[in-house]
Amino acid sequence: MNKRILSGLTVAALCGTYSAYAVSQGAATSTSATKMTADAQTTRVVGAANAFLGTLTAAQKKAVSFAYTDSAQRARWSNFPTGIFQRAGVRYGDLSAAQRTALMNLLGTVLSPDGLTMVKQQMNADDVLKNTDGGGGGRLIFGSDEYYVSFLGTPSTTSPWTLQFGGHHLAINATVVGPNITLAPSLTGGQPIRATQNGKTVVVVQKVPQEVKDAYALLSSLNTTQRARAVVSTQRIDLVLGPGQDGKTLQPEGLPGSAMTAAQKAQLLTLIKDRLGILNADDAAPKLAAVQKNLDQTYFAWYGPTTAEGAANAYYRVTGPTVLIEFSPQSMGGDPSNHLHNMYREPGNDYGAALTK
């Protein structure tokens, strides 16, 4: 089946609804899902997955493999570091150089070049944190070695499966169903976003400043009436649908696209692309088309300072029929703009639920 036709059918089924997937992973764990044949992009992903698995020892392959119906492993992701939260799978620090290369090749096939760069930069940020915080102190363990890879199900061009990769401040959940790949739900962000190296301030995670810039550009374009609707509070809040919040319902709030000018809608779409753009172009395209189709029903909400100087410390949310994005600065560490927890979800399609039922 053509990917764009399938995506259109999925979007049509989701439009007008605003609940997270209704059966709390039941659809995603169904063993009777209709088989769909992969397209060229998914075929490349399956090939890269098998190439990585082919580098593993028998013990590593056992450790990395989980049943597609394993709901506990599906939800085993967090923003917390090792020491507070224990992940399962194979640890990045236990992979050889060749195995690491094969894993990054797999991630680079699932993600866009921008997405792979973001993953590497977030891992690098954790190395910076390890070096500046002495490894976390006590039970907390930071660093790129503490990222884990796992598979739910067997990489296939017809049957659904999921690639998981993550650690502190990162959780990539890529569910593959025939010609379709979704990253919902995925956690991104990082700490630190900026760091001092050789006496100079450098941006460690470059994706974050771009999102802040694009979010504030939209906010600053609003007139007084629009801003009154978009700014829900001048106080920053934490993630609403973060780790452990699968299956929860979130009603839209803020300013809808229907109350925006054409230029403002374009800016809202740019902001959404910042997050959706970490997925490979082939799979991102139909998702962006669905978002654009439903832009009038997509809301922008802001919590926090509204000045240019304070924008990086504010929480914002984008909620639409097929997309939910949260951007949440954290006060732990002193500077909220230097510690981010961000979420991406697809209402009704987290873990590919809409594609597998």
**For the chain, first and last CA: distance in Å?**
16
CA distance 3 to 44: 15
CB atoms within 10 A of CB 258: 11
* Whole-number pLDDT of residue 311: 93
Provide the pairing of β-strand 65-66 with 148-152: parallel
CB atoms within 10 A of CB 133: 14
CA distance 11 to 25: 19
Two structure tokens written together for 121: 């930069």
* Whole-number pLDDT of residue 3: 54
Place of tokens 């504030």: 216
Provide the pairing of β-strand 231-233 with 299-303: parallel
- 32 has a pLDDT exceeding 90: no
Burial label for 137, CB within 10 Å (0-12, 13-18, 19+), is exposed
Do 142 and 136 touch, CB atoms closer than 8 A?
yes
Work out the pLDDT band at 90, boundaries 50, 70, 90. Answer: very high
**CA dihedral for 192, 197, 201, 202, sign (positive or negative):** negative
Q: pTM (2 decimals)?
A: 0.89
Bridge partner list, 177? 180
| Range with lowest mean pLDDT among 35-39, 135-139, 234-238, 293-297 | 135-139
Residues 134-163: tens digit of each pLDDT:
555 568 999 999 999 999 999 999 999 999
Two structure tokens written together for 31: 């063993």
Phi, psi of 258 (to 5 degrees): -65, -20
Q: Calculate the CA dihedral of residues 6, 8, 13, 19 and round it to 10 degrees.
A: 100
Residues 260-301: tens digit of each pLDDT:
999 999 999 999 999 999 999 999 999 999 999 999 999 999
* Whole-number pLDDT of residue 149: 98
Q: Please state the rounded mean pLDDT for residues 126-136.
A: 79
Work out the pLDDT band at 334, boundaries 50, 70, 90. Answer: confident
Task: Round the average pLDDT of the chain to a whole number and report it.
Answer: 90
| Range with lowest mean pLDDT among 7-21, 233-247, 262-276, 309-323 | 7-21
Two structure tokens written together for 272: 């959404």
Two structure tokens written together for 171: 């959780």
* Whole-number pLDDT of residue 134: 56
* Whole-number pLDDT of residue 18: 30
Higher pLDDT, 293 or 38: 293
Q: Calculate the CA dihedral of residues 180, 185, 191, 195 and round it to 10 degrees.
A: 30
Coil, helix or strand at residue 167: strand
* Whole-number pLDDT of residue 135: 52
Coil, helix or strand at residue 339: coil
